């Protein structure tokens, strides 16, 4: 059985984790890689702050299912991951099949948070992006793609997003093998090159012996 390469990509909301992961996948080849989103593993009911859902707390996620799926992917199996509907803030009845594949990119705000998951990862990456940029990206995304009002996004940022980042997300940098700033193109190419090296077939002993004899 082939070894499975599992890469964790962490960072705050709006840091560009999905964009970065897609750049790596495009450079590697989608035939060999799959992307697993931690957002898919939000619980049907998440913790609340002042009566509003706190999506940036560790207790908002289904850790048992996430660990189980990452272990299965690491073993070379496929998984049926849940689908979370951010418009209605509920878990959909649908599932999405991920894998089997040689390379799995696992992106999410807490992808480097859990010790058991970190032990499964071959490479750990953290996207460190200025808070103003992250906030602006999140504002555009939530209003345009998730049907949120401008006021609700701003209130959520100050109530939960910013304090949770400072308390839980930023400390994950200590576990990262490397950090990436706002310019992700070069970092994505470097990571993709390392993955390609991993995917490169090992030389066949027989072919090497024949080549050696012909010298």
Q: How confident is the model at residue 144 (pLDDT cuts 50, 70, 90)?
A: confident
Q: Give the number of C-alpha atoms closer than 13 A to the C-alpha of residue 135, restricted to the C-beta side.
A: 16
Structure confidence at residue 213 (pLDDT): 38
Q: Give residue 101's Cα distance to chain centre.
A: 16
Q: How many CA atoms lie within 13 A of 192 on its CB side?
A: 19
Better-scored residue on pLDDT, 7 or 132: 7
What band does 32 get if pLDDT is binned at 50, 70 and 90? confident
pLDDT for 115 beyond 90? yes
Q: Which two tokens stand for residue 128?
A: 């460190």
DSSP three-state, residue 58: helix
| Rounded distance between C-alpha atoms, residue 44 and residue 60, angstroms | 9
- What predicted TM-score, i.e. pTM, was given to this entire model? 0.86
pLDDT tens sequence across 65-111: 999 999 999 999 999 999 998 888 788 889 999 999 999 999 999 99
Q: How far is CA 73 from the centre of its chain?
A: 14
Give 183-209 pLDDT, tens digit per residue. 889 999 999 999 998 888 766 655 545
Going along the chain from its start, the domains and CATH numbers come out as: 5-200 (3.40.50.300)
The pLDDT value recorded for residue 128 is: 94
Q: CA torsion 199→205→207→213, rounded to 10°?
A: 140
């Amino acid at each position: 059985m082939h070894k499975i390469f599992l890469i964790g990509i962490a960072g705050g909301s709006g840091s560009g984790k999905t964009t970065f992961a897609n750049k790596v996948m495009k450079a590697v080849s989608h035939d060999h890689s799959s992307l697993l989103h931690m957002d898919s593993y939000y619980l049907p009911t998440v913790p609340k702050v002042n009566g509003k859902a706190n999506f940036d707390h560790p207790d908002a996620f289904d850790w048992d299912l996430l660990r189980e799926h990452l272990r299965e992917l690491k073993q070379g199996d496929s998984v049926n991951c849940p689908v979370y509907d951010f418009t209605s803030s509920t878990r959909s009845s649908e599932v999405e099949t991920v894998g089997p594949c040689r390379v799995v990119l696992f992106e999410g705000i807490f992808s480097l948070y859990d010790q058991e998951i970190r032990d499964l990862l071959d490479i750990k990456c953290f996207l460190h992006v200025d808070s103003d940029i992250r906030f602006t990206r999140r504002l555009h995304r939530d209003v345009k793609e998730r049907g949120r009002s401008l006021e609700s996004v701003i209130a959520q940022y100050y109530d939960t997003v910013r304090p949770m980042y400072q308390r839980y997300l930023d400390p994950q940098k200590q576990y990262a093998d490397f950090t990436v700033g706002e310019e992700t193109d070069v970092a994505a190419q470097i990571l993709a090159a390392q993955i390609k090296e991993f995917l490169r077939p090992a030389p066949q002993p027989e072919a090497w012996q024949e080549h050696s004899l012909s010298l």
